[in-house]
Structure 1
Amino acid sequence: MTLSEATHPNHDLARQLRDSRLSGGLRHFIGGQWVEAQSGRTFDAHSPTDNTRLVTVAEGDAADIDRAARAAHDAFQTWKEVSGAERRKILHRIADLIEQRAQEIAVLESMDTGQAIRFMKSAATRGAENFRFYADRAPSAQDGQSLPAPGFINYTLRQPIGPVGVITPWNTPFMLSTWKIAPALAAGCTVVHKPAEWSPVTATLLAEIMDEAGLPKGVHNLVHGFGEGAGKALTEHPLIQAIAFVGETTTGSHIMRQGADTLKRVHFELGGKNPVVVFDDADLDKALDAVVFMIYSLNGERCTSSSRVLIQEGIYDEFTARIAERARNIRVGDPLDPETEIGPLVHPRHFDKVLSYFDTAQQEGATIAAGGKRLGEAGNYVSPTLFTGARNEMKIAQEEIFGPVLTAIPFSDEAEALALANDVRYGLAGYLWTNDLTRAHRFAQGLQAGMVWVNSENVRHLPTPFGGVKNSGIGRDGGDYSFEFYMETKNIAVSLGTHKTARLGVGKAPTITKEEADA
């Protein structure tokens, strides 16, 4: 394991961006205008590399959210009538601009989150892909079905639900913002976006790009702030019809309560404690690559990371030894260095949380086979960590650590592996490594998860559904599944004139006697 300290060309761009883009602070974007918070309040976002101030940010509250919600409501009256073909053109222009500014996006994202630049380049590219994917679906977003019945023609269509709130997390925030905003715009909805306060920078860049691409004023609005201020006001605002949220499970519960009085539709992608199950008949070299990648890439701050590895007993010792060796060789350091594999964690509070599990593991009787310590004196750097000798009831096997920390648990047979895999409150993703075809199907169908990959790491195909079960979420993203959230389905029944309607009130009313009336 090495802590890189070299200077690289990305630092020159970072300095330029800091001087030109961040020195003036970040403002809200409401109704097509860049504005300060109405209260005048601001807060500071910090660099994960040394926790010094990175940028000053406007702190939104209920007044700013109200202004943004009203702008979104007003813009919705015209945006919903814009043709799918025109929305397609605008979304493709957004994708073009994202691609043109991919290096700028990647550097800003690394500066803001601590994620390694090698992964942020692909995150920017995925953001463009998200917009292109939904751009091409915009013309057919309202399409429905023809459902003929005796005497009637029934047909369905989809219509945009209205202004929606989008609340995005601090891990890969640019890509995840596009993942939510692109289908909302393609559907004909307008958006109020509240990004995470720990990583606000690239949300501003995305708003600039959409404005430059010609998105009409008020269709997309950006309000910075904290969950208890701007976030709560957004989830409670009566003009906001739905909330799309990516983040921690407890926060999702709060959002459901806050939106209950206005009957808000919610879509949640929440936490995970995802298992990767390795049987002794698997291709162990490929399995090793996938296990290491899915927990240590993106600093382990990934909702679909395979943070529990369940390994068949006969290969447990050898396989965990190989994981430990790879973990010790991972390059930890400056996120702008292209050679860096793990950068600093996003925030000191999260850093302290991850570090606390090192003591927890030892108290519970697990072994720290690799890592288990902070690196350096400044910043939020953590060594890639492996816990062995763990049991499924331990906190390190049950709780979402959300860092470069892997818990290894042995199992004897398929039945035990499935029981261990399902014995958590989460159910976002699962990964299975075996060359037994029938077991692969059987196990995948029995796994309590919204998504399962067999003999693969997380490889996303955009038309497929993305989401979890249990405490990992509600609803699905991806393909037309996103439109099920951002649009209402309406049925229209047209009579062919052949059915008969029951007739009431055509005969003489019966006479009621005084005795019957008094009864």
Structure 2
Amino acid sequence: MLLKSAVTLTRPSVSLSKMALRCYTQLPLKVPIKLPNGIEYEQPTGLFINNKFVPSRQGKTFEVISPSTEEEICHVYEAREDDVEDAVNAADRAFKSGVWSEVDPIVRTVALNKLADYIEKDLDTIASIETLDNGKAISSAKGDVQLVVNYLRSCAGFADKIDGRVIDSGSSHFSYTRRQPLGVCGQIIPWNFPLLMWAWKIGPALATGNTVVLKTAESTPLSALYVSQYIPQAGIPPGVVNIVSGFGKIVGEALTTHPKIKKIAFTGSTATGRHIYQNAGANLKKVTLELGGKSPNVVFSDADLKSAVQNIIIGIYYNSGEVCCAGSRVYVEESVYDELLEEFKKASEAVKVGNPFDESTFQGSQTSQTQLNKILKYVEIGKEEGATLITGGERLGNKGYFIKPTIFGDVKEDMRIVKEEIFGPVVTVTKFKTVDELIEMANDSEYGLAAGIHTSNINTAFEVSNKLNAGTVWVNTYNDFHHCVPFGGFNASGIGREMGHEALDNYTQVKAVRIKVA
């Protein structure tokens, strides 16, 4: 059953045609919201600057829609260029004061652990906000929040281990290096994992002593604003973390071109990533980009097929398919192709799609009408290209942005549904005969974010893992993240890495010191 009402509305409902409505009335800095599961809370609506929620300078706001009901949740303040200037200046003052960058690193460790504690204690509310705002299944949202907690604690553990080294350059000099923070970091996060990407961005930046101005996705700003109230409570000083809600063409552009911002971190589409890279390059900023993907998920004949099918489902229908590393191209060894496809079709048709607040739901809604329309358009493209629609390909219900899990067979490698990122619960299935044929097809992509391999032969696992052009390869599992394991892409899937020790390199620079002693 789909939701009847997402929230207790705090202002009159508006039509969907005004989804990005900007208004000029004075909006409270917090509004009461009652969630479908009965949880009541106060939602911050302001920009978070200098450890305070404040209205935007121009008083503009925009509407936030619940994608599972198409109803208004609330309005939040919309940042513009002058608000970005305020946030950057606050971050710059905080960095230069040394209140965060120059303290004993254990102070950062304690603060990040406290932030993780606050979030963990409030896990149910935060996960429910994520489900309301993004449309993802509540079970997935709870998993996301736990990953947030784990990653912040992991970053806390790294905070006092950012070490340089002593270099033996002969007895006449004492030479050493130290790793220093960059300064103000501009960060832009996507709408598919709003809070998890918030943590992936601020965690390593804060652990290494930087300050942050972060832009939320305009369609999913609520969870990042909500957890920001814990920043001062955790002991993080004013100006260290600043959150601005707004639109990419205004706020994103201001961040990527601002002279005081020393580094840009972005997660989103490859097309936008290229634009950001150009902007940042013109100002010689350090850049990390986690971009799109069209990841292969491979099943060999010796695999446990039932387990493989479940991993394929997790790979493509988890988070409604709105996952940059989704296993959207499935390759199956010819001898088990028919059997695998039959099992996969049955399992796909059994996936529960609908009310994201139902604990038994696996696939919630798509995050926006725009994304739903894009997915349905690709379904039509697949049909026109001559692929066989095995199952799904239709909108589910007439309220909320739901779509049935979708499988295409009889595809050719030059089809758009094979080449282009759809970013939804749509998968193509292709057969292969040899490892060489598989590698050629799997690597024939501009992307290189992730891949999956299903086999009982460890030699096959090693051989194929080493040959696939992918930043992450999962074997007999999929979408299996860990806070200590780096994540990022090859080729058009990005630059740099999130998580693990590697993420810290994105937020530090090396200084060499050479002292003459003789």
TM-score higher than 0.5: yes
Amino acid of the residue matched to residue 168 of structure 1? I
Q: Which residue of the partner structure matches residue 28 of structure 2?
A: none
Q: Which residue of 1 aligns with 2:355?
A: 334
SS state at 2:35 partner? helix
Counterparts of 2:391 and 2:189 in 1: how far apart (Å)? Answer: 32
Contact 1:119 1:298 in 2 (8 A): yes
| Partner in structure 1 of residue 169 of structure 2 | 149
1:41 is aligned to: 60
Partner of 1:121: 142
2: distance between equivalents of 1:145 and 1:454? 36
Q: Is residue 444 of structure 2 the alignment partner of residue 432 of structure 1?
A: no
Q: Deviations over 1:472-503 (max 9, x none)?
A: 00011222211111010111123342xxxxxx
Q: Does 1:30 align with 2:49?
A: yes
Give the 3-state SS of the residue equivalent to 1:344 in structure 2. coil
Q: Which amino acid aligns with 1:40?
A: G
Equivalent of 1:139, from 160, 164, 170?
A: 160
1:65 aligns with 2:84: yes
What TM-score do the two structures reach when normalised by structure 1?
0.91
Distance 2:142 2:427 in 1: 25
CA contact (8 A) 1:4 1:332 kept: no
AA of the residue aligned to 2:79: G
Instruction: Determine the C-alpha separation between the residues in 2 that align with 1:120 and 1:5.
Output: 17
Q: 1:381: Cα distance to partner?
A: 0.5
* Letter of the structure 2 residue corresponding to residue 474 of structure 1: I
Please state whether the residue corresponding to 2:229 is helix, strand or coil: helix
Query: 2:226 is matched with which residue?
Result: 205
Instruction: Tell me the residue number matched to 2:69.
Output: 50
Contact kept in structure 1, 2:6 and 2:132, CA below 8 Å: no
Which segments of structure 1 move beyond 3 Å, counting only runs of 4 or more?
A: 3-9, 15-20
- 1:89-238 alignment runs, 5 A limit: 89-141=110-162, 143-151=163-171, 152-238=173-259
| Distance in 1 (alpha carbons) for counterparts of 2:215 and 2:312 | 33
- For 2:195 and 2:72, locate their aligned partners in 1 and report how far apart those are by CA, in whole Å: 20
What's the CA shift for 1:464?
Answer: 2.5
Offset, 1:437: 2.5
Q: How far apart are residue 155 of structure 1 and its match?
A: 1.5
DSSP 3-state at the match of 2:469: coil
Contact 1:170 1:199 in 2 (8 A): yes
Closer/same/farther in 2, CA of residues 6 and 195 from structure 1, 3 Å limit: closer
Deviation at 1:32, TM superposition (A): 2.0
Residue type of the partner of 2:80? D
How far did residue 362 of structure 1 move?
0.7
8 A contact 1:6–1:337 mirrored in 2: no
> How far apart in 2 are the matches of 1:15 and 1:442?
49
Separation (CA, whole Å) in 2 of partners of 1:99 and 1:413? 47
Partners of 2:188 and 2:265 within 8 A in 1 = yes
Determine helix, strand or coil for the equivalent of 2:178.
strand
Q: In structure 2, what is the Cα distance between the partners aligned to 1:313 and 1:361?
A: 22
2:176 partner letter: Y
Contact 2:184 2:262 in 1 (8 A): yes
Instruction: Report the counterpart of residue 27 of structure 2 in structure 1.
Output: none
* Match in the other structure for 1:409: 430
State the Cα deviation string for residues 123-161 of structure 1 (Å, max 9, x = none): 1111111111111111112x1122202233322110000
Structure 1 or 2, whichever has the larger Rg, is: 1
Structure 2 unaligned regions, length at least 5: 8-32
CA, structure 1 residues 278+20, in 2 after alignment: closer, same or farther (shift >3 Å)?
Answer: closer
2:470 corresponds to which residue? Answer: 449
Give the letter aligned to residue 71 of structure 2: T
SS state of the match for residue 42, structure 2?
Answer: helix
Q: Secondary structure at the match of 1:393?
A: coil
Q: Where does residue 108 of structure 2 map in the other structure?
A: 87
How far did residue 469 of structure 1 move? 0.6
1:360-385 Cα shifts (integer Å, max 9, x gaps): 11111111111110011111010011
Task: Say whether residues 1:325 and 2:346 are aligned partners.
Answer: yes
Q: Please give the secondary structure, in 2, of the residue aligned with 1:333.
A: coil
After superposition, where does 1:118-517 map in structure 2 within 5 Å?
118-141=139-162, 143-151=163-171, 152-497=173-518
Against the structure 1 CA distance between its residues 8 and 114, is the aligned structure 2 distance closer, same or farther, given a 3 Å change threshold? closer
TM-superposed deviation, 1:441: 1.5
Secondary structure of 1:29's counterpart equals strand
Cα offset, 1:436, TM superposition: 2.6
Q: How many Å apart are 1:5 and its aligned residue?
A: 5.8
Deviation at 1:7, TM superposition (A): 10
Are residues 16 and 343 of structure 1, via their aligned partners in 2, closer, same or farther at CA, if it must alter by over 3 Å? closer
Cα distance in 1 for partners of 2:84, 2:378 equals: 37
Q: Structure 2 CA distance, aligned partners of 1:178 and 1:454?
A: 26
Work out the percentage of aligned pairs sharing the same amino acid: 38
* TM-score normalised by structure 2 residue count: 0.92
Deviation for aligned residue 1:109:
0.2
| Cα deviation digits, residues 35-85 of structure 1 (max 9, x gap) | 111111111111101222112111111111011000000001221111111
SS at match of 2:159: helix
Please give the secondary structure, in 1, of the residue aligned with 2:481: coil
The answer (yes or no) to whether the contact 2:3–2:69 under 8 Å persists in 1 is: no
The question of whether the paired residues in 2 share the 8 Å contact of 1:242 and 1:264 is answered with yes
- Contact 1:13 / 1:107 at 8 angstroms: preserved in 2? no
Taking the aligned partners of 1:8 and 1:259, their CA distance within structure 2 comes to 39
Aligned equivalents of 1:15, 1:410: Cα separation in 2: 44
**Structure 1, unaligned runs of 5 or more:** 498-519
Distance in 1 (CA, whole Å) between partners of 2:470 and 2:90 is: 39
| Deviation readout 1:172-218 (Å, 9 max, x if unpaired) | 21111111101110100000010100100001012111122121001
Helix, strand or coil at the partner of 1:260: helix
SS of the aligned residue for 1:334 comes to coil
Output one character per residue of 1:278-298: Cα deviation in whole Å (capped at 9) or x when no partner: 111122222111111111111
| 2:298 partner SS | strand
Is contact 1:245–1:267 with CA below 8 Å preserved after alignment? yes
User: What is the alpha-carbon distance in structure 2 between the residues aligned to residue 164 and residue 18 of structure 1?
Assistant: 35
